[in-house]
């Protein structure tokens, strides 16, 4: 999976109409999206709000046996427009290798006697096995670092003590990685899913949220287009999440991986999403169901033929 930045620009979410323009998710980022399982990733959320709005970022719960999540530092930035950007970061620590889903984050806001909440989309990321090079680096930590390279001139006794401490620390890190990988493997039996399974399961979760019937049309299309773009990235190695619609269509045409019908659908659907996001177009709710079915059909049509009978979709 390629590195990505999951950016959601100017998303209108679950709020009263009178305050919809004052509180919005500016960016949701998981960096990096693919890590060796003994490393950590940073999940950050940027929320833009009026200066008199208080933003309440929640704690995120661990997923037992899979992910440990800790709320870390936060900061704010005042824009030239007077709006304030609130940034909250979380440390995501996978227990073992696997593909994991971070649930939607419900962020509260308050202004005088008004209050409400906004909801971020779900995110997925991959904690992979260590490569041979990474495993070798962990095993040869002391040799790679070289105590002489990081220690100032010391007396023989002090230098030997530092070398002993570094050796112990390296051994502890290696043992911790081994323990996390094998000692808790049974607790974290999260299978590595192919791109189409991840996309179909995300579609099922989006369908269960029933956003169009709740009046959250823009949020529905933000999530639906994100699912499609990340599927294209994972399945075809095209950086769709980071590309504009014209850039994505140009890359698709260059790779010649889609049929003419599929390219036509992609162009029309993504332009439709752009109109909703940038031009504040408000489509009829019944159109959302048709687009949902088209995205799901697109995913199913692009599953490799030899994998179609083994697809583990749980969606209807």
pLDDT digits (tens, 9 = 90+) for 126-152: 888 877 766 665 555 434 444 444 444
The DSSP bridge pattern shows strands 67-78 and 54-56 to be: unpaired
Please name the residues in contact with 280: beta carbons below 8 A apart, sequence gap of 6 or more.
Answer: none
Residue 121 lies in a domain: yes
pLDDT mean over 280-291: 86
Within 10 angstroms of residue 7's Cβ, the number of other Cβ atoms is: 14
Residues 56, 115: Cα–Cα separation, whole Å: 10
On average, the pLDDT of the chain sits at 76
- The sheet with strand 114-119 has its strands ordered as 54-56, 106-111, 114-119
Q: Tell whether 201 and 314 lie within a shared domain.
A: yes
Q: How many domains does the chain have?
A: 3
pLDDT tens, 43-94?
889 899 899 999 999 998 877 777 888 888 988 999 888 889 999 999 888 8
42 inside domain: yes
Region of poorest pLDDT, from 100-109, 145-154, 283-292, 305-314? 145-154
pLDDT recorded at residue 303: 94
Of 170 and 270, more confident: 270
Q: Is residue 207 part of a domain?
A: yes
Three-state DSSP class for 232? helix
Using a CB cutoff of 8 Å and minimum separation of 24, what contacts does 130-136 make? Answer: 130/36, 130/37, 130/38, 130/177, 130/181, 131/36, 134/36
Domain assignment of residue 55, yes or no: yes
On whether both 156 and 200 belong to a single domain, the answer is: no
Q: At residue 302, does pLDDT exceed 90?
A: yes
* Burial status of residue 232 (CB atoms within 10 A of its CB: 0-12, 13-18, 19 or more): buried
Write the pLDDT tens digit of every residue in 25-44.
768 888 777 778 777 888 88
Domain boundary residue among 94, 113, 129? Answer: 129
* Per-residue pLDDT tens digits for 113-122: 888 888 888 7
- pLDDT for position 18: 35
CA distance 121 to 224: 10
Q: How many Å apart are CA 65 and CA 62, to the nearest integer? A: 9
188 domain-assigned: no
Q: Is the domain of 149 the same as that of 214? A: no
The token pair at 218 is 């823009």
| Predicted pLDDT of residue 84 | 92
Whether the CB-CB separation of 218 and 276 falls below 8 Å is answered with yes
Nearest partner of 48 among 77, 80, 73, 72, judged by Cα? 77
What Å distances lie between residue 193 and 68, 69, 87, 227, CA to CA?
A: 20, 22, 31, 15
Q: Where are the alpha helices (DSSP H) in the chain?
A: 132-139, 141-145, 147-150, 156-178, 195-209, 217-236, 245-255, 260-278, 285-301
Say what the pLDDT of residue 234 is. 92
In a domain, 169, yes or no: yes
Residue 298 has pLDDT above 90, yes or no: yes
Quick check: 13 pLDDT over 50? no
Q: Are residues 74 and 16 in the same domain?
A: yes
Q: Do both 1 and 121 map to the same domain?
A: yes
CATH assignment at residue 106: 2.60.40.10
Average pLDDT, integer, range 181-187: 50
Segments forming the whole domain that contains residue 82: 1-129
């Amino acid at each position: 999976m390629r590195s990505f930045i999951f950016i959601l620009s100017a998303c209108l979410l679950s709020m009263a109409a009178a305050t919809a323009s004052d509180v919005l998710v500016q960016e949701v980022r998981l960096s990096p999206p693919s890590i060796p399982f003994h490393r950590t990733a940073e999940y950050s959320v940027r929320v833009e709000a009026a200066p008199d709005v208080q933003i309440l970022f929640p704690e995120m719960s661990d997923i037992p046996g899979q992910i440990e999540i800790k709320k870390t530092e936060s900061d704010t930035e005042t824009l030239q427009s007077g709006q304030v950007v609130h940034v909250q970061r979380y440390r995501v620590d996978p227990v073992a290798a696997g593909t994991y889903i971070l649930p939607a984050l419900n962020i509260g806001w308050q202004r005088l006697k008004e209050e409400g909440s906004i909801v971020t989309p779900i995110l997925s990321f991959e904690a992979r096995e260590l490569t041979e090079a990474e495993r070798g680096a962990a095993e040869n930590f002391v040799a790679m670092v070289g105590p002489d390279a990081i220690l100032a001139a010391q007396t023989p006794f002090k230098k030997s003590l530092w070398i002993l401490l570094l050796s112990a620390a390296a051994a502890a890190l290696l043992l911790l990685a081994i323990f996390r990988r094998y000692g808790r493997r049974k607790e974290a039996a999260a299978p590595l899913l192919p791109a189409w399974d991840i996309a179909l399961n995300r579609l099922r979760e989006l369908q269960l949220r029933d956003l169009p019937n709740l009046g959250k049309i823009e949020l529905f299309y933000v999530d639906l287009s994100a699912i499609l773009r990340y599927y294209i990235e994972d399945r075809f190695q095209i950086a769709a999440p980071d590309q504009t619609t014209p850039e994505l269509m140009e890359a698709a045409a260059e790779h010649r991986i889609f049929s003419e019908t599929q390219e036509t659908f992609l162009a029309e659907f993504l332009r439709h999403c752009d109109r909703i996001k940038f031009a504040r177009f408000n489509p009829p709710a019944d159109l959302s169901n048709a687009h949902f079915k088209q995205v799901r059909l697109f995913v199913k049509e692009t599953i490799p033929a030899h994998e179609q009978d083994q697809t583990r979709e749980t969606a209807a």
